[in-house]
């Protein structure tokens, strides 16, 4: 009966006593959405060997699994509320693993203000797989979407691009790059930044599959094109050093995944701050009416990209 | 780009055009809960080799994955509203597989009245894994729970017990038992029955891990005990024949999983019908104040059960 012991000892505390979770002892959870608000729902699965390397520490898996879902809530301009957890783990998983995993979830909950609503635990015959469904709240009609872009909008990103991709590259090639590896392992969900920006922006999404591919999603959903300046894409100092040292083309940073920064458009007259909470906000281009995506180099010459982003199949 | 083709061709139609799904093109879905109602949320994962046999037909996997989640909504007295789907499948999955899978989901949606809200698709390195999160609606305060049982309540089950367990037994041992196998492959969610019973009953849950183990959950949550008559547990004719032919003890039907029938308690004076929509409702015992679970045989002798139900770890 380890499953029920684990639930009682490690997971029930993550409900923070919220009545919605029904003490994790029912068939389902039960939530009331406040009047005038809507519920934002997102689901992401992380699989060992696909989304994180084999033998990743349980705390790192927990942080990433929750962060990528919270990042989707951020993209919609929502405030985190709660999450469900479906945890598939091998039969020989130890108590220590579960403790470390749940402790990290607890710390993440505290940082982002949410609680565990319910879930499922499964003895997996093949590796670790985690599906989190996260729930957020927005005022009715205020959710940000990918389809709200307008030709002529300025295009922005938060933070820096490519760090997560390079962090994974460093891990896989045993290069020392602690800042980049940390960015790969511990993505931040730009919740507060999105909420502060929301009243003044149009389309918004989080960059998870690579800047170019995800920009393509905004263009498709908004029925517009885009023009971006490759040298306007903001890089961290660590990324600059790393791509120089390892001769990695700048374009690959725009097609690598794992950024978890916001990509958004705003009317050209909107006053968008240069930074919020110490995170830079950088204009990288604009949306265009011709439905074509173009990337320009520093000499304003058109660049052809061969690979648009991370492809799942 | 097969992932996006599949979404466009096979999964977008499952949204039935509901605005909440945002055309499956955003980071998250967005739902409004009607005034005076609460949202019931449940998550269940099905893994190849654990919850269904390797080489199970995609339509059978789809039906079961949605049915077990809808069964949890039934247990809470909720009406199905929508669901999210996280689908992990091998890289070499064919278009035909996806079509068959999504067609079966479509047929299930039509039977139970719900639509696809969003999800994730993942190229799995190891077998098929499906996590569905299902959403239902109940009137505020009207949800059924496991904790509402009261000592002295009569205990009931819907339908017949053990058929799913025997169906799996027949599949694994290549015995001909089409009715039992159908019960294992195609569980029904007792949605309408639960909603009709709801005003008159106390504790309720669905039996997924075996009658005895699940009864234990009601006892623990309601802080009561139970006494049931083993020979009052309703069996189908097919189950009677099968356990006689293969010398399977009656008790094992009470510890086998995969029933997906409702187990509920009601005040002894409540008028509970003998059947609803052709599904029998059978009294099997009562809740007691002494916090002990007892099973009696036809001579009113106490039986000791050695295995309480399906154990995940």
Mean pLDDT of chain B: 94
Beta bridge partners of B46: B130
pLDDT above 90: percentage of residues in chain B: 87
B277: pLDDT strictly greater than 80: yes
Q: pLDDT value at position B266?
A: 98
Q: How many of the other CB atoms lie within 10 Å of CB of A162?
A: 31
Predicted model pTM:
0.91
Predicted pLDDT at A150: 98
Q: What is the chain A residue with the closest CA to B3?
A: A313
Best residue in B43, B75, B187, B215 for a mutation probing chain A (most A CBs within 10 Å): B43
Q: Domain-by-domain residue ranges, chain A?
A: 2-139, 146-303
CB contact under 8 A, B26 and A205: yes
Nearest chain A residue to B203 by CA distance is A26
List of residues 6+ apart from A163 with CB closer than 8 A? A179, A180, A183, A184, A236, A238, A239, A259
| pLDDT of the residue at A310 | 54
For residue B287, the model assigns a pLDDT of: 98
A133 close contact with B: CB closer than 8 A: yes
Q: Quick check: A3 and B313 CB within 8 A?
A: yes
At residue A196, φ and ψ (nearest 5 deg) are: -70, -40
Q: Residues B305, B313: contact at Cβ < 8 Å?
A: no
User: What share of chain B in percent tops pLDDT 70?
Assistant: 97
Q: What pLDDT was estimated at residue A103? A: 97
pLDDT band for position B296 (50/70/90)? very high
Task: Answer yes or no: is pLDDT of B308 > 70.
Answer: no
B114 in contact with chain A, both atoms CB, cutoff 8 A: no
Compare CB distances from B28 to A29, A41, A85 and report the shortest one's residue.
A41
Residue B4 near chain A (CB below 8 Å):
no
**Using CA atoms, how far apart are residues B312 and B50, in angstroms rounded to an integer?**
9
Q: What's the ipTM?
A: 0.88
Answer yes or no: is pLDDT of B2 > 90.
no
- Which of A33, A119, A312 is facing B122, going by the closest CB pair? A312
Residue B313 to residue B311: CA distance in whole angstroms: 6
A95 touches chain B (CB under 8 A): no
Domain A2-139 matches domain A146-303 at the CATH topology level: no
CA A158 – CA A298 distance, rounded (Å): 21
Chain A hits for B86, Cβ within 8 Å: 43-45, 86, 131
Task: Evaluate if residue B312 carries a pLDDT over 70.
Answer: no
**Looking at the domain that runs over B2-139, which CATH code has it been given?**
3.30.1330.10
Q: Does A139 touch chain B (CB under 8 A)?
A: no
B263 contacts in chain A (CB < 8 Å): none
Is the CB of B42 inside 8 Å of chain A's CB atoms? yes
Residues of A in contact with B33 (CB under 8 A): 32-33, 39
Confidence band for B310, pLDDT divided at 50, 70 and 90 = low
> Mean pLDDT, to the nearest integer, of B14-28?
94
Q: Order of strands across the sheet with B129-139?
A: A29-31, B37-47, B129-139, B79-90, B115-124
- Tens digits of residue pLDDT in B216-238: 999 999 999 999 999 999 999 99
Correct CATH for B146-303 of 3.40.470.10, 3.90.650.10, 3.40.50.300, 3.40.50.2300: 3.90.650.10
Angle between helices B163-172 and B178-185 (to 10 degrees): 110
For residue B76, which residues of chain A lie inside 8 Å, CB to CB? Answer: 26-28, 30
pLDDT of res. B225: 96
CB contact under 8 A, A40 and B30: yes
Residues of chain A found within 8 Å of residue B122, distances taken between Cβ atoms: 45, 47, 50, 312
Residue A5 at interface with chain B, using a CB cutoff of 8 Å? no
- Buried b vs exposed e over A228-238: b needs ≥16 C-beta within 10 Å? bbbeebbbbeb
Instruction: Please state, in angstroms and rounded to a whole number, the distance separating the CA atoms of residues B102 and B93.
Output: 13
Q: What is the pLDDT of residue B307?
A: 53
Residue A50: its chain B contacts at CB < 8 A? Answer: 122-125
pLDDT averages per 10-residue partition of chain A, 313 residues: 85 96 94 96 94 92 96 97 96 94 96 96 90 97 97 98 96 96 94 97 96 95 96 96 95 91 97 96 97 91 69 56
- Best A28, A34, A35, A223 residue to mutate vs chain B (most B CBs within 10 Å): A28
pLDDT digits (tens, 9 = 90+) for B71-121: 999 999 999 999 999 999 999 999 999 999 999 999 999 999 999 999 999
Residue A257 has a pLDDT of 87
- Counting Cα atoms < 13 Å in the Cβ hemisphere of B120 gives 29
Res B313 pLDDT > 70: no
The pLDDT of residue B4 is: 83
pLDDT band at B253 (very low <50, low <70, confident <90, very high): very high
- Whether B1 shows a pLDDT value over 60: the answer reads no
Chain A interface includes B39 (CB < 8 A): yes
Q: Is the pLDDT of residue B276 over 70?
A: yes
**pLDDT given for residue A307 in this prediction:** 53
Instruction: Tell me whether B92 touches chain A (CB under 8 Å).
Output: no
Q: Which of residues 235-274 of B touch A (CB under 8 A)?
A: none
* Contact residues on chain B for A133, CB-CB shorter than 8 A: 41, 43, 84, 133
How is B45-105 classified by DSSP, letter by letter?
EEEBTTTB-TT--HHHHHHHHHHHHHHHHHHTTPEEEEEEEEEEEETT--HHHHHHHHHHH
- DSSP-assigned states of every residue in A9-57: IIIGGGGTT-GGGGGG-SSSEEE-PPTTEEEEEEEEEEEBTTTB-TT--
* Nearest chain A CA: its distance from B53 CA (Å): 12
Contact A123 B91 (CB under 8 A): no
Q: Is B139 on the interface with A (CB under 8 A)?
A: no
Where residue B181 falls among pLDDT bands split at 50, 70, 90?
very high
A145 touches chain B (CB under 8 A): yes
What's the rounded mean pLDDT across residues B250-254? 91
């Amino acid at each position: 009966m380890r499953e029920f012991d684990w639930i009682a000892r490690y997971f029930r505390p993550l409900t923070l006593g919220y009545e919605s979770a029904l003490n994790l002892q029912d068939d389902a959870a039960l939530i009331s959405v406040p009047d005038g608000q809507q519920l934002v729902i997102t689901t992401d699965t992380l699989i060992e060997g696909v989304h994180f390397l084999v033998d990743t520490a349980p705390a790192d898996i927990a942080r990433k699994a929750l962060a990528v879902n919270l990042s989707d809530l951020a993209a919609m301009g929502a405030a985190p509320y709660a999450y469900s957890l479906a945890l598939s783990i091998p039969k020989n998983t130890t108590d220590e693993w579960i403790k470390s995993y749940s402790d990290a979830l607890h710390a993440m909950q505290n940082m982002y203000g949410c609680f565990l609503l319910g879930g499922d635990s499964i003895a997996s015959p093949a590796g670790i797989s985690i599906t989190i469904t996260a729930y957020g709240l927005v005022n009715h009609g205020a959710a940000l979407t990918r389809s709200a872009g307008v030709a002529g909008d300025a295009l922005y990103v938060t933070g820096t691009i490519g760090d997560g991709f390079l962090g994974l590259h460093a891990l896989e090639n045993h290069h020392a790059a602690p800042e980049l590896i940390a960015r790969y392992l511990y993505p931040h969900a730009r919740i507060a930044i999105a909420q502060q920006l929301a009243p003044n922006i149009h389309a918004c999404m989080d960059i998870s599959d690579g800047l170019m591919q995800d920009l393509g999603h905004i263009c498709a959903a908004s029925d517009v094109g885009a023009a971006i300046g490759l040298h306007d894409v903001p890089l961290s100092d660590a990324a600059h050093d790393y791509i120089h040292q390892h001769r990695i083309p700048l374009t690959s940073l725009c097609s690598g995944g794992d950024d978890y920064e916001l990509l958004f458009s705003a009317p050209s007259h909107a006053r968008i701050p240069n930074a919020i909470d110490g995170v830079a906000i950088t204009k990288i281009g604009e949306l265009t009416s011709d439905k074509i995506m173009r990337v320009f180099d520093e000499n304003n010459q058109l660049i052809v990209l061969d690979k648009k982003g991370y492809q799942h199949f």
